[in-house]
Structures are given as structure tokens and as C-alpha cells.
Copies of this chain bind each other. A is one copy, B any other.
């Protein structure tokens, strides 16, 4: 059982290359398409009213202790639902140690957060509010505000069957419902998969071949169909595990040796909008990311992962970057909500 991860990765690796025919619209490619709508759990079926309320809450700085951070402070549509920073800024402007993950397509994740400490959007939503390092608000204070403000009517409308419409549960359900609307599934790549042969350039098609080829980019082994993530955790050799202050990532949740310094595979959809990259924001560009992998990671100690260097020419690296740029759905201008007083 100890090596189950490795076995699974090897199987995926074989599978991800074997079956593709690189022609626009080919049936073998259809596994890369996402559904139009994100799934929602049985105890929180999607409604427009919940999503609208969730949108207000997501953008409201009054959900933070000092009134100047909202969910959108770190997850902004202006920065591809991240923040454009190397790592996040928290309460009182402090610099946090991990990059703000994108919200984009998080509705398709089976597990949330860089270290997977949350298993649903509902469970995740209140975490940053409660964290003293992040939004730092007392939940009792927050619920009292929501009940006594213009929000009350919106909660009543969104949760008509609850005896108490404003609660921690409904707060997180509303935000999760909004997050389920933040979906990228209509990129040039998607259009190509659906049959529009001119949606990708020849370079981007070459990049896709390299992306799935285990002997070249080998990217799809983790950034797998359809959301370009395996929902798994991997150590990319970004930091020495011998350093005392190294972020151990998934290991904090699952103390297995393999999980030391391992972080969740992020989706690559809309990736061109959310530089810089990696859980520590250490790569400025997609080419930097490719170069990191091409070197086989930077093996800093004997606990670093056994990543082998890749055989990629400079042109092939550029082709991979061009492909990743095809994964961005052209951003629509995003409308801010008007907030209740």
C-alpha cells in the first residue's frame, strides 16, 4: 500500500499518452471537456439566489476583522481569481507563506486548499475568515452584523426553508454557491477539442502533444483531464526539506513521508491570468515553470522528490508555454455587486 501512489501515477502515465489522436474534435480528446455547470452537494443544491448572495459576501470587506479584506482581496477576478502577488497578503498587510490559489474551477476539485485540509467549498469558505493571519473576524460578530444589516433579506430569500436564515452554514453555502459559478471551460483548447481546428495554432497543438507525452513534458501525469489536475499532492523540489522552516504542505494533514513538502496540483485552466506560479509563487512565468521541471526539479536534499530531468529543446519549452496559454477562457469583464448597508 505504501507505494500505491507510485503505481497509480505509472498507470496514469501510460494511459494519458496511449489513446490520443491529435485532431480537432477527435473522440479520444473528449475526456478533456468540463461540464457546463459545476456539481453541487446534495445538502446545498445550486440556486441563483444563493449565488447572488454569495457574490456579495465574497466581495464584502466587512467580512474581515479590520474591514479591509474580502475573499476577493486574495481571489480577485482582476488577477485571474488570485492576487498577482508571490504569496498572499493577510491581516494587517502581513505576508503569508503560500500563494493565493485561484478560485477558478475549484468547484470541480475533490479536495480544497494547497494542503487539502478541506474537502468541500462549503467547508473551506469560513477558514480564511476565522484565521487570525487572514481575515481575522470573530464569527459571532460577523453573524450579528449580517442579521442586523440589509443582508438579512437576502439570506431570507436565499434560504427560505431555514428556521434561522443567517448562520455559519448558510454563510458558507452561499459563498460556495457563488464559487461554483467561477468556471473556465471555453478556452481555445476547449473549442479545438470540440472540433474547431483553427482554435489552436500548430505550435499549440505541438505543445499539447509534448504536454501529454510521458517521454517529453509528462505534464498530464498530474495535470490530467478534464481540469488539468489529479487532485493529488506532489513535492516538486521547490525547497529543502532539511530547513526547519520549510512548509511541509500536505504532510501537516497526512504525516506520510511522501507528503513532505507536497502541495496540491493546481488546475492549469486560465493559468496565463494568475502569475506568479507554484505554491510559493517562486516562478514568475510559465517558461520558468517549464524550466524548473526540465531540470528535474532542484534536488536539494535526499528527501526531495525523484524527479528526472526532461528532454526538451528550447523550442519545445516554448511550445508547451504556448499550449498552456491556450487554456485561458477569454475573460469577460466581471461585474461587482452592490452591497447592502
Contacts and interface: CB of A to CB of B under 8 A. Distances in A.
A67 interface: yes
A72 B6 CA distance: 48
Interface stretch (A156-164, A191-199, A307-315, A333-341): A333-341
Interface in A1-47: none
Interface stretch (A86-94, A125-133, A237-245): A86-94
B73 A68 contact: yes
B338 A335 contact: no
A84 B339 contact: yes
A211 interface: no
A331 B336 CA distance: 11
Determine the interface band of chain A, counting residues with CB < 8 A from chain B. Answer: 20 to 34
A275 interface: yes
Given A62-B84, A335-B335, A335-B336, 15 more contacts: A59-B78, A61-B83, A65-B93, A67-B85, A68-B69, A68-B73, A68-B89, A77-B338, A79-B339, A91-B93, A92-B92, A275-B341, A331-B338, A333-B338, A336-B336
Contacts of A83: 61
Q: Give the oligomeric copy count.
A: 2
A61 B61 CA distance: 14
A247 interface: no
A205 to B, nearest CB: 26
14 contacts: A60-B78, A61-B89, A67-B85, A67-B93, A68-B73, A68-B89, A68-B93, A78-B336, A84-B339, A333-B336, A333-B337, A334-B336, A335-B335, A335-B336
B78 A66 contact: no
A337 B91 CA distance: 25
A273 interface: yes
A86 B78 CA distance: 27
Contacts of A73: 61, 68
A122 to B, nearest CB: 24
Contacts of A65: 93
